[in-house]
Amino acid sequence: MQNDAKIEYDYSVAKAFTFATILFGIIGMIVGCILAFQLAYPELNNMAGQYATFSRLRPIHTNGVAFGFTLSGIFATWYYVGQRVLKVSLKESPFLMAIAKLHFVLYFITILLAVVTLFAGITTSKEYAELEWPLDILVVIWWVLWGISIFGLIGIRRERTLYISIWYYIASFLAIAMLYLFNNMEVPTYFVSGYGSIWHSVSMYAGSNDALVEWWYGHNAVAFVFTTPIIAMIYYFLPKESGQHVYSYKLSILAFWGLMFIYLWAGGHHLIYSTVPDWIQTLGSVMSVVLILPSWGSAINMLLTMKGQWQQLQTNPIIKFMVLASTFYMLSTIEGPIQAIKSVNAISHFTNWVPGHVHDGTLGWVAFMIMAALFHMVPRMFKREIYSKSLMATQFWLQTVGIILYFTSMWIAGITQGMMWRAYDQYGSLIYSFIDAVNVLHPYYTIRAVGGLFYLIGFLMFAYNIYKTATAGRILDKEPANATPAA
């Protein structure tokens, strides 16, 4: 087998996706911060007419972070990790190189068009599936291109054994392909009726069927965008950065198959106390609780990988990001199942506890892990030392404080909401009006907005550090074996 050191990896596509990750992260997080302040101070909805209202901006935030920032990070790490784990360079196959570059171009165009169309109010109004049918077709095309890249590199690999990270990338590709196709089946109304906008479409599902398909898709978008590819990253980058072996390969495989079989059935917990059949609601609740086992199996495996090497937390900020990301993964994957229990869901549903849960996962687990991965990759792609270690440390603590402010304020706000909505007097009448609950929550909304601002500032520090690393970091004479050097 050819020695790893003799393979000249091509990082051109990985670099392109790295900068897309930063760009869409900045856009998505700025919009998210504006939304948080709008909830605390509603007059901010009037900043720019219809184009700055909460309802117009919110899909840009969710799509920008989920499918702009996160997917860019996933693709960047794939084009880095895939080559190195499979011991093959993209430049060895002109066909796969062309596929990878076309993948990036079509993806970038799609996300830009998504921002423009959502700003213009062109939307299907389906949660996490707001893009209209022409963009859906583009998504399918570049998703297939990514699949060709995955299986093409596997087909020409030198390393016979598929490392566990590859398993998780494959799962993400296959599951999202199925979910996206079925949930986004729609009829373009102009071509059927001859009237209306060419952009407009109508879902092929209606009523409870639409809700079932939507949350089968919506929750599994969390599973296979926010979970499996991020696990793929940490199984590669944590051992690489720490110099430690993965604690248990057997546990990684057991957790993988557990996630595959259980996660797909948990989406029904979004529809508790709705018009869908009761057995589907119960199935969603039960599977959500069972999901704790494979989720914590992965997280514990990550943390035990650092067994005997915890002192690295004192010296390596990248290890701090990854260990705290694993911790937030554990927190998020115990909190979600708790909210899926029917008696708890009666209080938590429709409250701010839900975005609190979502954001300790996305900000603490997903974003921390993607930033840690890019911090590891950039010095090796550009052959330069990280520009500032102190900036990394400052970013870490600023963003950690921001996350804590965010989710604690939303926990308190959510439980307060749920209890106020369920408070009755001796005559069975509601004690509080809806606006009473809104007024009580104002301080918590303000704290949430401040926490989001802290996180945004930290991300801008991250972007600056990466930019300076790529352009002005001290040149490395050889690739570091594990711990990433930083000035």
Q: How far apart are CA 378 and CA 243, in angstroms?
A: 18
Q: Is the pLDDT of residue 19 over 70?
A: yes
pLDDT at 5: 57
3-state DSSP assignment of residue 204: coil
Q: Is residue 97 part of a domain?
A: yes
pLDDT at 274: 92
What is the average pLDDT score of the chain?
A: 94
DSSP single-letter state for residue 384: B
Q: What percent of the chain has pLDDT over 90?
A: 92
pLDDT at 4: 55
Continuous H helices in 341-433:
342-348, 353-361, 368-382, 389-421
Q: How far apart are CA 16 and CA 30, in angstroms?
A: 21
Number of domains in the chain: 1
CATH number of the domain residue 39 falls in = 1.20.210.10
Domain that includes residue 52, residue range: 1-225
Q: How far apart are CA 321 and CA 459, in angstroms?
A: 13
A 10 A CB-CB count for 197 gives 11
Q: Is the pLDDT of residue 185 over 80?
A: yes
Instruction: State which H helix or E strand residue 431 sits in.
Output: none
pLDDT at 1: 37
Q: Is residue 253 part of a domain?
A: no
Q: How far apart are CA 18 and CA 15, in angstroms?
A: 5
Q: Is residue 189 part of a domain?
A: yes
**In contact, 395 and 461? CB cutoff 8 Å:** yes
Q: Is residue 176 part of a domain?
A: yes
Residue with tokens 């590669």: 236
C-alpha distances in angstroms, 181 versus 136, 140, 174, 267, 341? 9, 8, 11, 17, 30
* Residue type, position 382, single letter: F
Q: What is the pLDDT of residues 133-168, one digit of tens each?
A: 999 999 999 999 999 999 999 999 999 999 999 999
Q: Is the pLDDT of residue 49 over 90?
A: no
Q: Is residue 302 part of a domain?
A: no
Q: Is residue 440 part of a domain?
A: no
Q: pTM surpassing 0.85? A: yes
Q: Is residue 122 part of a domain?
A: yes
Q: Is the pLDDT of residue 482 over 70?
A: yes
Q: Is residue 260 part of a domain?
A: no
pLDDT at 487: 80
Q: What is the pLDDT of residues 338-383, one digit of tens each?
A: 999 999 999 999 999 999 999 999 999 999 999 999 999 999 999 9
Q: What is the pLDDT of residues 412-444, one digit of tens each?
A: 999 999 999 999 999 999 999 999 999 999 999
What pLDDT band is residue 2 in, cutting at 50, 70 and 90?
very low
Q: What is the pLDDT of residues 261-315, one digit of tens each?
A: 999 999 999 999 999 999 999 999 999 999 999 999 999 999 999 999 999 999 9
| Mean pLDDT value across residues 395-406 | 97
